[in-house]
A = this chain, B = another copy of it.
Amino acid sequence: MVNILETAEETVAKPTKRDQIVAAACDLFLEQGYEITSMDAIAAEAKVSKRTVYSHFQSKQFLFSEIMGEMCERFGDGTTAELGPSPSPREVLLQAAKFMLVRITEPGIQSLMRTIIKESTQFPEIGQRFWEIGPGHMWVRITEYLREQHRLGVLNVPDPELSSAQFQGLVAGPHFLATLFTGRSRWSAADADRTAERAVEIFLASHQP
């Protein structure tokens, strides 16, 4: 029911048929997954004939890939901000942790991640793309940041790649694992700040020089 993807330009003007199709497909794919969602259902939801869908998107696979790719890009926006420069590692990591948690706890994003994980065996390029833009990108950036802090002697991080992954696990774990299997977690967006702070505390306490 949540529509993440909206055409940026001129949301005021009445939506074109294509927009309607994209919105409908977006909702249904995220809600049900690729296989279950039929082109009939998309056409119906978009209040458009099935032929119109096919005149805009040559196939179901193409439509799905197009939409998911676009959503990955949208998801990536905002993760490009630099990590620091900031006075203390505590501030930098806290900012990163909070950013991750904001992202992870958005309902739309949860559906997106779930759908990508679901279909990543059939559409590996989508999983890869999301990884590179989202968690993978964050992992690389934190890795580089930690490596630098280690070099400067501010932190003790002999294996920055592993530490970076552990940081991500520490931050995201509580909100993530249960959600994947049961659909809900003990912690919600309201707990995000506290979770972030606790994660950073734990991480820093064990990486002092």
Residues of chain A at interface, number, CB under 8 A: 49
Question: A165 touches which one: B118, B168, B174, B206 (CB < 8 A)?
Answer: B174
Contact stretch, chosen from A19-27, A42-50, A130-138: A130-138
So how many copies of this chain end up in the complex?
Answer: 2
Q: Are A131 and B181 in contact (CB under 8 A)?
A: yes
Flag whether A202 is at the interface (Cβ < 8 A). Answer: yes
Question: A120 touches which one: B116, B183, B203, B205 (CB < 8 A)?
Answer: B183
CA distance A76 to B34 in the complex (A): 30
Q: Are A169 and B174 in contact (CB under 8 A)?
A: yes
Known: A127-B181, A159-B198, A161-B186. 13 other contacts (CB 8 A): A36-B122, A116-B181, A117-B118, A117-B181, A127-B182, A128-B181, A128-B182, A131-B181, A162-B187, A169-B170, A169-B172, A205-B205, A206-B206
